[in-house]
Amino acid sequence: MTATESTKPARQKGFFGHPWGLATLFFTEMWERFSYYGMRVLLIFFLTASVAQGGLGMEKGLASSLVSAYGAAIYMSALAGGWIADRLLGGQRSVLYGGVLIMAGHICMAIPAGSTTIFLGLALVILGTSLLKPNISTLVGGLYPEHDARRDAGFTVFYMGVNLGSFAGITISGWLGQQVDFHLGFGAAAVGMALGLIQYVLGKGNLGVATAAPVNPLTADERGKVFGRIGAGLAALVLVIAIFWSMDMLDLQLVINGISLMSILLPIGYFAVLLRSPLVDDDERSRVKGYIPLFLASVMFFLIFEQAANVLNLYASEKVQNTVLGMEFPASWFQSVNPVFILLFAPLVAAIWMRMGERQPSTGRKFAIALVLIGASFGVIVLADATSAGGLVSPLWLLGVYAVQTLGELLLSPIGLSVTSKAAPKAFVSQMMALWFLSIAAGQGIAAQLVPLYGSVSDAVYFGMFAGAAVVLAVLLWISAPKIRVMMRGAE
């Protein structure tokens, strides 16, 4: 970026009445989601396919755990990426460097060289996503002047890019990977991210100055202390790895267990800091306490919802008919219906809330309904299993699962982001938003320990177990909703 470009404001009109920079970020996010979901939808199939079929031949339980742990690591890494943008790089460079790392990760996975390039690729994607994902939304907000009435509409347009990219990535990479070659599917993800980077670089001049520099850059004194601590932490990590390696104890399951443990301990630590901080007053502390049940509900929701990447993919491949009018399609294509359902259902849900106005349920009860829906989605599979007579089930059952899950997602995800921002203590606004994403990480971290049960117990037991747990928590949350509302003190 030239000096002139870095000091001029974002061009405020041109992309359907929005700043031109929104077009740059729309397509960057679209292609990044293309690459992320295109790779993710293939991951469980690749890990469990035999070497002769072009996969790694991994046992299904371990592979499912790895996919969940990978998802947990993605969301936990966003904490570091947000800090790096705020203190070191600024949002615009963070997105650029993140995209480069993501592309490099997918290129590694496209190379047919066994597990080494796959695990290196996953690590690079995690690092890259940590820089890109938490910061690109900040760039969208930075396009608009304060109190600009177009801001909400701009984020709606941006969110459409998320769904378009995920639909296209799942459809294209899923077909290439399952019907032609896994590494070709991973390569398509790399091409997608490359296209996103090209148009981001070409359009970066339209992003303006708001996010070009760190908002709270490290001072010279802070740099020395921070880099010293980071160096000491990395050295300690290398030492621990070396010790486990020398004792022949460093294996994939140990890494998965470590990620699961971290996904649980991080939010516990965050809540402890928030509740004990002298910067938090009594009203704010009460809101944080009222937020905890909502956080736990989110953990349960995503524990089930994110099993789409592993358990539901395996279920679709092994137990669901994948033909329409005599034409066969890849099992991975079932994943593409979620973004379609979001685009169909989101206006309907928004219209219902608008029509209900002040009569709509409290946040706690909306979350309770979302839990019932996510539990019911697994209940649909139990019902499908009971009526299958041991054969393949109709694809309509799985479409029903995703339709119910999408409705639950629309009741929980956007509302969760909103209530998180309102419940946040003034001194911890950014960290509170990070805490919301930790609920997704914790859900997947816990799932990493539970998904190996799939296949070792009956489908009725496995899916019924999660469905029952979600409904029980929903009932408790529904009963507790009035008390939560009092504790939140207007934050709802």
- Give the pLDDT confidence of 111-156 residue by residue, as tens digits: 999 899 999 999 999 999 999 988 888 788 778 776 677 776 777 7
Q: Judge whether residue 226 has pLDDT over 80.
A: no
- Report residue 393: phi and psi, to 5°: -95, 160
Structure tokens belonging to residue 256: 């998965």
How far apart (Å, rounded) are the C-alpha atoms in residues 28 and 96?
10
Whole-angstrom CA distances from 323 to 169, 256, 384, 388 are: 21, 35, 17, 16
How many distinct helices (H) and strands (E) make up the chain? 16, 2
How far apart (Å, rounded) are the C-alpha atoms in residues 243 and 162?
42
Q: Model-level pTM?
A: 0.89
Across 6-10, 123-127, 209-213, 393-397, least confident range? 6-10
How much of the chain, in percent, has pLDDT values that exceed 70?
Answer: 93
Under 8 Å between Cβ of 473 and 443? no
Using DSSP's 3-state secondary structure scheme, residue 90 falls into: coil
Contacts of residue 291, defined as CB under 8 A and 6 or more positions apart, other chains included, come to 419, 420, 423, 488, 491
At 232, the amino acid letter reads A
Q: Which residue has the tokens 């760039």?
A: 139
- Of the pLDDT bands very low, low, confident and very high (cuts 50, 70, 90), residue 336 is very high
Higher pLDDT, 486 or 214: 486
How far apart (Å, rounded) are the C-alpha atoms in residues 72 and 37?
15
Q: Which residue has the tokens 């004194």?
A: 221
Under 8 Å between Cβ of 132 and 98? yes
Whole-angstrom CA distances from 309 to 68, 408, 447, 448, 490 are: 8, 17, 11, 12, 37
In this predicted model, what pLDDT tens digit does every residue of 339-366 receive, in sequence order?
Answer: 999 989 888 888 888 788 778 888 899 9
